[in-house]
Amino acid sequence: MITPADLVCKDLTKDFDNFRAVDRVSFEVPQGSFFSILGPSGCGKTTLLRMIAGFQFPTSGDLLIKGKSMIDVGPSKRPVSMVFQHLALFPMMNIGKNIGFGLRQRGVPAAEIKTRVGRVLERVGLPGIEDRQVGQLSGGQKQRVAIARCMVLEPDVLLLDEPLSNLDAHLRDEMRALILRVQARANVTTIVVTHDQEEALVMSDRIAVMFEGEIAQLDDPEVLYRRPSSRRVADFIGVMNF
């Protein structure tokens, strides 16, 4: 029996009034893989990610997670977790309560929450900081906490929206390594939206390059780099040997 892909998008389309933000996008993401949606600002990649998360519903098409259609299923009912670009940590809660928030919403017992929060903090390299306040953390530490808050829910699919865009170059390199390490250890299917070509090429098993709501090319990083399908893809990736 063939195991279905963790995520399948079939002809996903999203219209806003007279503007089509996503135009009949189709792809599959195998279990445990790292998939990037790469493109310039305004290409539709964030709208696509928000449809996967359930924050927006498609105008047409279908979206399946673990073989089940998610059309009309709200975000709280989907087996996904999302790290937002601006992190969205709760400043009035300490780190432990921030990370355990989703578990409390699900009615998980307090003792189990404490154990799982401690375990995920170790995984992201921040053991023992449960009692600290958000304002006491550096930018990189806040990023790790945001990832931990998603990973503690043990999602089938982890979504990252421009996760490294607000970090300096050194922290970006550090966080890339951390994300890949955590992703591989948990074997969680991960989808990242980015406009950073290097980030996508370094981290991904597969990359979908988007322009104007459509996927222009979907390939593994080496093929994308060495054999871009068009001049436009080559220009965007940065390959100069046309």
Q: CA 242 to CA 234: how far, in whole Å?
A: 8
Question: Residue 239 has what pLDDT?
Answer: 56
- pLDDT computed for residue 3 by the predictor: 56
In order of 61, 70, 128, 214, the CA distances from 23 in angstroms are: 10, 18, 46, 5
For residue 151, the one-letter residue type is: M
pLDDT recorded at residue 35: 96
Residue-level pLDDT, tens digit, the chain, 242 residues: 455 689 999 999 999 988 999 999 999 999 999 999 999 989 999 999 999 999 999 999 999 999 999 998 999 899 998 888 777 788 899 999 999 998 998 899 999 999 999 999 998 888 999 999 999 988 888 888 988 888 888 899 999 988 777 777 777 888 888 888 888 888 899 999 998 888 899 899 999 999 999 999 999 999 998 899 999 999 998 755 55
* 134 Cβ contact list (under 8 Å, min separation 6): 89, 90, 91, 93, 94, 95, 98, 142, 145
Q: What integer pLDDT is reported at residue 165 of this predicted model?
A: 75
Q: What pLDDT score does 242 carry?
A: 57
Query: Concatenated DSSP letters for 27-82?
Result: EEE-TT-EEEEE--TTSSHHHHHHHHHTSS--SEEEEEETTEE-TT--GGGSSEEE
Q: Closest by alpha carbon to 154, among 106, 199, 206, 110?
A: 106
Query: Contact, 74 vs 149, CB < 8 A?
Result: no
Element (H, E) at 24: strand 19-29
CB 136 within 8 A of CB 86: no
Nearest to 174 by CA among 221, 140, 139: 140
Residues 194/207, Cβ–Cβ less than 8 Å? no
Res 241: pLDDT: 55
pTM: 0.88
